[in-house]
Each structure stands twice: as C-alpha cells, then as structure tokens.
Structure 1
Amino acid sequence: MADVHGSWDPLSPPAVATLFAEFPPRWWLAGGYAIELAVGRRIRAHADIDALVLRPDLLSVPAVLPGWQLWAADPPGSLRRWTGRDPLPAHVHDVWCRPAPSGPWRLQIMVDETEGDHWVSRRDRRVRRPLSTLGRRTPDGLPYLAPGVQLFYKATNPRPKDEQDFRAVVPHLDRVERAWLLAALDLTFPAHPWRHRLADRR
C-alpha cells in the first residue's frame, strides 16, 4: 500500500514476533491482526501491521530494530525522525519503522499509557484495566491485544473494515471481555450502535 508518506510492505505476525523475541518487556500484536488472532482465521487484507508497547518500555524498541529508520508520527499526520534515544512526547502514540530509507514501511509501533499496574486508554483515561489482562496468546505463542481493547479503539469512528472486524470477533468474546467493552462504551460512547449488539449477546 502507498500513502503520502511512502509505500507499505507489512511484516507478517510471525516475522514481528521473531524481531521482538529478544524484547524484554511486554508487547502485543494489535490492529486488525489482533482481531484475526482472537478469531483464529483470516478475515481480510491488511495494509499495515501494528505492535503495541507500553510507553515506559518504548526506549527498549530500537535495540530489537538495529539499523532501522524510526519515525514518530506527530498528530495530525506528519512524520519526523526519532533516534530512539529520547522519550517521545505524550501526544505521540505511533512510530513508523522501516529497515532502509528507500524501502517500504514494514511495522508500526503503537504506544499506550500506564498508571501503576493498569493500562490506561490514551483516548479517555477513565477507561482502564489491569495490565495482566491486556493481552492474549495464540496456541503457538503469538501475543496479541485483548479483543475488547482493540474494539474499543476501533469504536471511535468505525470504518467498514472495523465493522467487519467487530462482526467477526463478537461471537468469540467471553462474558468478561464483552462486559468490559460494554462498560467502556457506556462510559465514553453511550449512543454507540455496538452497545446494543453486545448487550444482546450477554
């Protein structure tokens, strides 16, 4: 895929896991791939691939991407080189990564917030959950973001692909995950159409 910042040739989930095999902190595959890993099957094509890390661990990322170019995404849509040596400001939540200046982008790092032993949504700090519940693993060990959290991020302004992901994963949400997502939507988007579809499955 190409955009104003250049073309994408995303890594596969196993390739990302190989890169992060020596990453000491916790990390998770995110975005549409997190939904597919929760469902256990391919749902749709992907233009990029996301790995989520926690902000306190961000400075450990360059060590597993030696020689890569890292670009911080400054809202609302500009990129700037990041050396990986200094913390990024709180408003930066994405880092684009590529092995060479002339090559395509291969990976996007998403940066999330913490408070004590809790994950805190960067979009609404009232939405949180214990870090111990933030991720899941596939049978072969791939870490991925809990589907309720991923759906919460997709709920802000759902695109057709987000609706597709929602329909695919909702039958796979357990009671606890569904209740968490419903509570998060009640708090932040009380008129969201997904609320009724979640409540109907309780």
Structure 2
Amino acid sequence: MLDHEEIIRLYGPWHHRTPSDAAELCNEYSGLWWIAGGWAIEAFTGKQRPHSDLDVSIPRSDVALLRQHVMSRLEVWAANKGTLWPLIGEVDEPLPSTFGNLWLRASGAEPWEYDVILMDATDSVWTYKRDTRIHRLTEDILWTRDSINYLWPEIQLLHKAPGLRPKDQADFESCLPLLESADRRWLRSAMEVAHPEHPWLNEL
C-alpha cells in the first residue's frame, strides 16, 4: 500500500477538504453518501487528528449517479492500487470491480479534491468487501451529526484493521474506550471471522 507522501509524489497533491465541503458538493445529490476514514473517527471521538484527505463514501452501485451530479464541476478518475483510469465515457459505463475508489478534481492542473470510497452496499444491506460473511443493515452502519452521515467507528475500524498503520492503531486506541459494549462485541466477532490473528482481538 502506498503511503500518502508517495501518492503525492506520483499523482500530485490533495486539497484540504472537510465534511462541510463534502456536504456542499453533495447538496441536492439524490444518492446516499457518508464520511468515512479519519474524519469519521474524529467526529466520533471529538479528538482532532491529522488528515491527508477527505474520504467520502457511496454504494458502488451509485457511481453513475455521482458522476452525473459532479460532471459539470469535477473530473472523476477510478483508482485502485496505484492505477488511475479517467472516467470520460458515458456516465453509466460499467466500472470494473477491481477499482475501489473514485478520485475527484477540477482539472489536471489542480489538486485532487475528494477520495470517494466505493462500498458494497444496497439500500438495505452493507457487506464487508474483504469477507462477504460479514454484513449489516445499511441503516445501521451510519450515524448523523449536523445533517452529515458518518460511518460508525466499529465499521471503520474493521476496514482499517488489515493496514495496521500507526494512524490505524491510534484510531483504534482512541475509539476503544468510547465504543458501546454491543459495538465492541460486533467488531470482535467480525474480526474473528475476517482477521482471526489480528492483535486488536486481545484488546476487544
């Protein structure tokens, strides 16, 4: 996995964006969207942390809907493991399943604006991309503050677990004392299925 400095060296800088910026971008957007990543952790804990970008997230099935919404303002690129592919065809052109993110920017001369994470979610059910045995009602993966949806921390920590970067460990330690017992049990159960040798299990 490329670190943020290497991503900047290869693909250019990222503009600093906040959840409020995402809310402005998604004004009148008809699809479901939410804030994931470090900003979701910060919103839950109330503790400020560094941010390299803003992770917006949508269901994978809504790629065409988002492209239609932003096409007059931002370019959309599909991203996966160091590969970038400009989405310049028809908005309903199928996106290969190997691409897990969309990167948005105004033009090639401008910094990247938003990293949009594509999640396997329908109107009713979210499924963990690394292990389809783990799922949850879509309405139960999100919470709302100031009209902005955020990913619940137990879902975000499950996504962060495989990386185990220093910032992931810090986010885990920040969230753990604040998790409800039921949410802690859910995270432990999910990790026992998907990541059974993970060191976090000893603390959960």
Same fold (TM over 0.5): yes
* Cα displacement string for residues 36-64 of structure 1 (whole angstroms, at most 9, x for unaligned residues): 1111231x211111111001222111233
Letter in 2 for 1:100: S
1:185 maps to which of 191, 196, 199: 191
| 1:125 has 2:132 as partner | yes
Q: Paired residue for 1:161? A: 167
Secondary structure of the 2:77 match is strand
Q: Is the 8 A contact 1:10 1:105 kept in 2?
A: no
2:114 maps to which of 98, 107, 120: 107
| CA 1:90–1:164: 2 relative to 1, 3 Å | same
| 1:4 has 2:10 as partner | yes
| 1:81 has 2:83 as partner | no
Which ranges in structure 1 are unaligned for 5 or more consecutive residues?
none
Q: Paired residue for 2:54? A: 49
Distance 1:197 1:185 in 2: 12
- TM-score, structure 1 as length reference: 0.90
**1:88, CA displacement in angstroms?**
0.9
Q: Is the 8 A contact 1:152 1:181 kept in 2?
A: yes
* Cα displacement string for residues 106-157 of structure 1 (whole angstroms, at most 9, x for unaligned residues): 101100113672101111111111111011112x222111111110010012
Give the alignment of 1:25-64 within 5 angstroms: 25-42=31-48, 44-64=49-69
**1:77, CA displacement in angstroms?**
1.1
- TM-score, structure 2 as length reference: 0.90
RMSD: 1.5
Segments ≥4 residues shifted beyond 4 Å: none
Distance 1:116 1:28 in 2: 14
Distance 2:92 2:124 in 1: 25
**1:21, CA displacement in angstroms?**
2.1
Letter in 1 for 2:159: Y
May I ask how many residue pairs the two structures share in their alignment? Answer: 195
Distance 2:36 2:116 in 1: 9
Letter in 1 for 2:66: V
